[in-house]
Amino acid sequence: MLDINFDENRTSFFQFKTNYLCTSMKSEKVNIRKLSLEQLTDTMKGMGQPTFRAKQIYSWLWQKGAQSFDDMSNLSKVLRESLKADYKIPVITEDKRQVSDDGTIKFRFLLEEGHKIEAVLIPVPSDNRFTVCVSSQVGCSLTCKFCATGQMKRIRNLTAGEIFDQVFKVNVACEATYGKPITNIVYMGMGEPLLAYREVLSSVDKLCGVDGLNMSPKRLTVSTAGIAKMIRKLADDQVKFNLALSLHAADDEKRNEIMPINEQNNLAVIMDALEDFHLRTKNRISYEYIAFQNFNDNISDAKNLVKLCRRFPVRVNIIEYNPIDGFDFIKSDAKKLDDFAQYLRDHDVMVTVRRSRGKDIDAACGQLANKD
């Protein structure tokens, strides 16, 4: 018979577990990009370093896009090694690049754990306009019936650093390709930005802050499928950027059919939230409206859309539908789309018809799905 001392073995087991957890916790490095400038300052004090080192590190992270501590050449080697011991800089790496016949460039990036996201550079050199479209989530949970990303499982939100990196890396490519920096940023890539609220706003702070890239928030547009309570939160937080609603249908019955989010956030609720946003921020609002043949492109649909444009100033961007494998929708023919737009103009609605860019490389609106 085995002589087992249960108390002794239990003590040994819990001691082993405690030691293992402590070791694991010690080995887990902190994402230094999660620290504010104030927190970095406190960290430098705790390390016996002068406080100006915090601004140097912050500048390396959010102005110069440092990919490692070794890039921080104005820090001593001793400090860099100390930082490496306790902190990490998770970065995204370019995995694939595709160039469209129209000059649009799609980038696929790998995240630290191997997930993939996409960003798109949309150049219009004739207007000196170079727009980067960034993703805010890995996948999406909203299952819009016309969107390839919506058919993917949402895995997680992106961090502010991962969003920032998309802009920084695409800007490097833009300058190398076109000799110009990016001029505009749109959060219209993979995911619903308002479901990644904290990280999206943090990324905006880094992109627009004087200690970051110092871009004007008026050159940023955040798009949403329509989450009313988060639109109101944007107003509470007095954001300075532009807001775009992915509308795509001007009545609840049709919108419910293609956008399940509308069942919890119907048009009346969304319009109330948008009006509140306009009254409290005065920021520009636009409606994104993909035109589907014989679904939402009739004059009756245009009449409904005009009604939605009466409550506050708004611009309508009509977008060509981009074909996606396995989807039944067809894009409106050019004549019908132009007639639809003209009806809006005749009723004093500001409208722009946007022809698809990058559709030959699956980089156009609704096509981002990490397709090989």
Catalytic residue positions? 118, 365
Strand partners, 185: 132, 220
DSSP string of 190-250, one letter each residue: SS-GGGGHHHHHHHHHHHHSTTTT---GGGEEEEES--HHHHHHHHHTT--SEEEEE---S
The rounded distance, in Å, linking the Cα atoms of 16 and 228 is 50
Could you tell me if 145 and 259 are in contact, meaning their C-beta atoms sit under 8 angstroms apart?
yes
For residues 221 and 241, the answer to whether their CB atoms sit within 8 Å is yes
Residues in Cβ contact with 76 at an 8 Å cutoff, skipping those fewer than 6 apart: none
What letter does residue 158 receive in the DSSP assignment?
P
Residues ≥6 apart with Cβ < 8 Å to 259: 142, 144, 145, 225, 226, 246, 248, 249
CA geometry: angle at 114 spanning 120 and 104, to 5°? 10
Residue 215 phi/psi, 5° resolution? -80, 155
Can you tell me whether residue 256 is helix, strand or coil?
helix
Q: What is the 3-state secondary structure (H, E, C) of 49-79?
A: CCCHHHHHHHHHHHCCCCCCHHHCCCCCHHH
Distance CA 148, CA 135 (A): 14
Q: How many CA atoms lie within 13 A of 369 on its CB side?
A: 18
